[in-house]
Structure 1
Amino acid sequence: MDLKQLSTFYRVTTHMSFTKAATELRYAQSSVTAQIKGLEAALGSELFERLGGKIRLTPFGERLVPYAERILALVDEARCSLAEQAEPSGTLTVAAVESVISYRMSGLLEFFHHRYPRLQLVVQAATSEDARESVRKGVQDLGFLVEVETRHDGLETRVLGPQHLVAVVAPGHPLHRTSPVLTSDLRAFPVLVPGTDCSYRASLQDELRRGAEEPVSVLEFGNIESVKQGIAAGVGVGVLPEAAVAGSVRDGRLSVLDWQPSFEVSAQIVWRQGRQLTREARIFVDLVTQTAGVDDESLAATSS
Structure 2
Amino acid sequence: MEIRLLVTFEKVATVLSFTQAAAELKYAQSSVTSQIRALESSLGAQLFDRLGSRIRLTEAGERLLPYARQIIELSEEARAAVVGTEEPSGTLTIGTMESLTSYRLSPLLELFHHRYPGVRLSMRPTLGDETRQALRQGTYDVGFLMERETEHTGLEVTLLTEEPLALVAAPGHPLAGAAVPTVSTADLVHEPLLATEPGCAYRDLFEEELNTESAEPVPFMEFGTIEATKRAAAAGLGIALLPAVTVAEELADGRLVALPWEQPFTLSTQLAWRSGKRLPAHARLFVEQARKLVAEQG
- Matched ranges for 1:108-147 at <5 A: 108-147=108-147
Match of 1:229 in 2: 231
C-alpha distance in 2 between matches for 1:65 and 1:223:
33
C-alpha distance in 1 between matches for 2:55 and 2:219:
44
CA 250–18 in structure 1, closer or farther in 2 if over 3 Å, else same: closer
CA-based RMSD: 2.9
Establish whether residue 47 from structure 1 lines up as the match of residue 46 from structure 2: yes
Q: Which amino acid aligns with 1:292?
A: V
Contact 1:154–1:273 under 8 Å retained in 2: yes
C-alpha distance in 1 between matches for 2:133 and 2:48:
24
Greater shift in the superposed pair: 139-148 or 121-130: 121-130
Counterpart of 2:249 (choices 247, 250, 256) is 247
Please state how far the C-alpha of 1:2 moved relative to its aligned partner.
1.3
Contact 2:167–2:258 under 8 Å retained in 1: yes
Q: Which amino acid aligns with 1:46?
A: A
Establish whether residue 99 from structure 1 lines up as the match of residue 99 from structure 2: yes
Establish whether residue 5 from structure 1 lines up as the match of residue 5 from structure 2: yes
C-alpha distance in 1 between matches for 2:94 and 2:69:
20
Offset from partner CA, 1:52-103 (integer Å, 9 cap, x none): 5366656655544443333223213323444554222344343320101121
Establish whether residue 164 from structure 1 lines up as the match of residue 169 from structure 2: no
Greater shift in the superposed pair: 223-232 or 59-68: 59-68
CA 141–87 in structure 1, closer or farther in 2 if over 3 Å, else same: same
C-alpha distance in 2 between matches for 1:162 and 1:38:
49
Offset from partner CA, 1:178-216 (integer Å, 9 cap, x none): 223211112231121112353322211110110324553
TM (norm. structure 2) is 0.84
Contact 1:11–1:21 under 8 Å retained in 2: yes
Offset from partner CA, 1:121-151 (integer Å, 9 cap, x none): 4434334444444444544432223233434
C-alpha distance in 2 between matches for 1:49 and 1:226:
38
Contact 1:14–1:138 under 8 Å retained in 2: no
TM (norm. structure 1) is 0.82
Structure 1 spans left out of the alignment, 5+ residues: 297-304
Establish whether residue 186 from structure 1 lines up as the match of residue 188 from structure 2: yes
C-alpha distance in 1 between matches for 2:63 and 2:92:
29
Taking only the aligned residue pairs, the percentage that are identical comes to 45
CA 64–130 in structure 1, closer or farther in 2 if over 3 Å, else same: closer
Contact 2:167–2:242 under 8 Å retained in 1: yes
C-alpha distance in 1 between matches for 2:279 and 2:36:
27
C-alpha distance in 2 between matches for 1:62 and 1:172:
55
C-alpha distance in 1 between matches for 2:48 and 2:96:
34
CA 50–115 in structure 1, closer or farther in 2 if over 3 Å, else same: closer
Other structure's SS at 2:190 match = coil
Please state how far the C-alpha of 1:49 moved relative to its aligned partner.
6.3
Structure 2 spans left out of the alignment, 5+ residues: none
Contact 1:47–1:60 under 8 Å retained in 2: yes
C-alpha distance in 2 between matches for 1:120 and 1:63:
27
Other structure's SS at 2:99 match = helix
CA 234–118 in structure 1, closer or farther in 2 if over 3 Å, else same: same
CA 230–277 in structure 1, closer or farther in 2 if over 3 Å, else same: same
